[in-house]
Chains A and B, each alone.
Chain A
Amino acid sequence: MAKNTNSFLMPSAKEALILELLNASSGSLFGLELVNTSNGQLKRGTVYVTLQRMEGTGLIASEQERRPDPQIGIPRRKYRITGLGQRTLSAYQAAHRAFAPNLIPGEA
């Protein structure tokens, strides 16, 4: 059976939150920065598992941080939203407006 490439997977609440935070930052963020700016909604233990899954589906992209030589320690990864992630976020927010308008954070 051919794979349906037109299927749309609705992101989970945590994935949508990550997409919102990355979209609002207009740049790239570390995982720890995502945890700190999420006001406790994201946890350290699950954020990187979620980020890895989202990167696998193409919603976000990551790159290792550039540090001046000599480098010490483990290089950290920065995450940014992709075009697919932005479209997915827009669709998610539109779906929430249509079915659950009071659930979108920040709306009056």
Chain B
Amino acid sequence: MNDHALCSRVVCSDCGTFDQDIKVGASRQCGVCGSGNLFFELSDILIDTHDIGHPPFPKEFTGKPSALTRVNSALLEFVFLRRVREFFQSHPRKVREAPGATILQIADFLFSPAAVEKVFKQLVADWRLEYCEALRGDRYWKARWICCRYYWAIAKAGSLDKLVSWFDRVLRRI
């Protein structure tokens, strides 16, 4: 989704403030509360601006501490975690789609409108609710786990669990 014309307005999910048009891919924070959890409105599809796909760690933070640094491991661990946290907080947040947007489009293609309205849209709404709650608490791994959990839930709802359970039985026999 790189068409600026598709994005009409930006809403902050934390304080509810509206903002003007913004280009897809731009970095933005709410001017009122400073939150990065901004959403585009595109009919009933939310576009999440929080970039969960962060870049790799900086080179100096990869790998285990050396033997010398293990002497002060507790202090170094505190510094390490603090630098990682600062790195995440300073990384500019980019515009991207909200979770479940693509799945909704696929479900709209495959299933009836009633099923999409009462099953898949409700699942995606709950997904986004829990996802945003995790992001507000800066729990990025929790947000990722929520995505995995809802991918599985939507697969079950789409009756794909029979295929997945067969695969699971095969794995258990191995």
Contact = CB atoms under 8 A, between A and B. Distances in A.
Contacts of A62: 118
B30 interface: no
A31 B122 contact: yes
A74 B161 CA distance: 25
A52 B115 contact: yes
Contacts of B157: 45-46, 48-49
B128 interface: yes
B122 A77 contact: yes
Interface string A43-85: 1111011011001000000100000001011111100000000
B143 interface: no
Interface string B131-169: 000000000000000000110111111000100000000
Interface stretch (B38-46, B51-59, B61-69): B38-46
Contacts of B126: 30-32, 44, 76
A32 B153 CA distance: 12
Contact of B122 (A46, A48, A70, A72): A48
B95 interface: no
B16 to A, nearest CB: 8
Contacts of B118: 48, 51-52, 55, 62, 77
A49 B129 contact: no
Nearest to B152: A45
Interface of B: 11, 13, 18, 39, 41, 44, 46, 114-115, 118-119, 121-126, 128-130, 149-150, 152-157, 161
18 contacts: A31-B122, A32-B129, A43-B153, A43-B156, A44-B149, A44-B150, A45-B154, A45-B156, A45-B161, A46-B156, A48-B123, A52-B114, A52-B115, A55-B118, A70-B18, A72-B13, A73-B46, A74-B124
